[in-house]
Amino acid sequence: MKKPFIVGNWKMNLTLAEGVEFAQSLRNSLSNSNKIICGICPPFIFLKDICKILEGSGIKVSAQNIHSEQRGAYTGEISALMVKEVGCSHVLVGHSERRHIFGETDSFINSKLKAALSANLKPILCIGEKLNEREDGRTKYVVKNQLKDNLRGINADRIKECVIAYEPVWAIGTGKTALPEQANEVHAFIRGILTGDYGEDIADSVYIQYGGSVKPENTGELMAQPEIDGFLVGGASIKLESFSKIIEAASNY
């Protein structure tokens, strides 16, 4: 049985001083915990400092984004090699805000995922439907197309290094959360696609996280679902108290 994998995405929040204090406190609080895998996604300019604080702790540090190219004339962008060099182990790819605010396409997300793997970064691939797509009964259609297009050309050996985060867009930052059974149904659907493409053993080894207004109050009932392997936490991850409560609740599963 896999340990729950809990990742906090700070997005564009906290100051460097606040982030450093958070990371040190998180390291201290998890020093004797071996029941979960934990990670955080600080803003780019905090990564070097946070990686140094968490070095050797087992807590993963993930970048929030990368460009698909390793170098070149891409002002304002960060490459996978740069992220890896400062000490990151993971990177978010295809977050709904990158898709729907910044207009990233499935083909671009696929190229970024390949760039991450080529730099030995583990991508956390985010997929999920918008509210109108769920209401129209197209959740599985959208999720399948995103998953297939984003993983195109990724072989079985490399898929084991990927994490999938199902994040229904309508539940991100809205206070709405997919019912545990709804989330589990989509997770099982995703696992089924991976099984068909890569085999049961590999599909079972891949972490599938849930993301969408995760908070301490709903962690237990979500974690109790058999196909949910952990969480990608947004707003509740920028306060140590709430993030710690989520970690504590997930540790019981």
Q: What is the pLDDT of residue 152?
A: 98
- pTM of the entire structure? 0.96
The string of pLDDT tens digits covering residues 143-191 is 999 999 999 999 999 999 999 999 999 888 777 778 999 999 999 999 9
Give the tens place of pLDDT for each residue, 2-41. Answer: 999 999 999 999 999 999 999 999 999 997 778 999 999 9
Residue in 67, 90, 95, 187 annotated catalytic = 95
User: For residue range 62-93, what is the model confidence (pLDDT) as tens digits?
Assistant: 999 999 999 999 999 999 999 999 999 999 99
Structure tokens given for 162 = 């990927």
In degrees, rounded to 5, the angle at the alpha carbon of residue 110 between the alpha carbons of residues 116 and 4 is: 60
Q: How many residues does the chain have?
A: 253
List the Cα angle 105/109/113 in 5-degree steps: 170
Per-residue pLDDT band at 134 (split at 50, 70, 90):
very high
Residue 178: partners with Cβ closer than 8 Å, 6 or more residues away? 168, 171, 186, 210, 212
What domain count does the chain have? 1
Look up the domain containing 9 and give its range: 5-250
Q: Residues 97, 104, 129, 167: which is the catalytic one? A: 167
- CA-wise closest residue to 190 among 218, 175, 217, 209: 209
Q: Is residue 167 annotated as a catalytic residue, yes or no?
A: yes
CATH number of the domain at 86, please.
3.20.20.70
Q: Can you list the positions of beta strands (E) in the chain?
A: 5-9, 37-41, 60-63, 90-93, 122-127, 163-166, 207-210, 230-233
Separation of alpha carbons 138 and 142, rounded Å:
6
Burial 191-210 (b: 16+ CB within 10 A, else e): bebbeeebeeeebeebbbbb
> What is the reported pLDDT for 177?
75
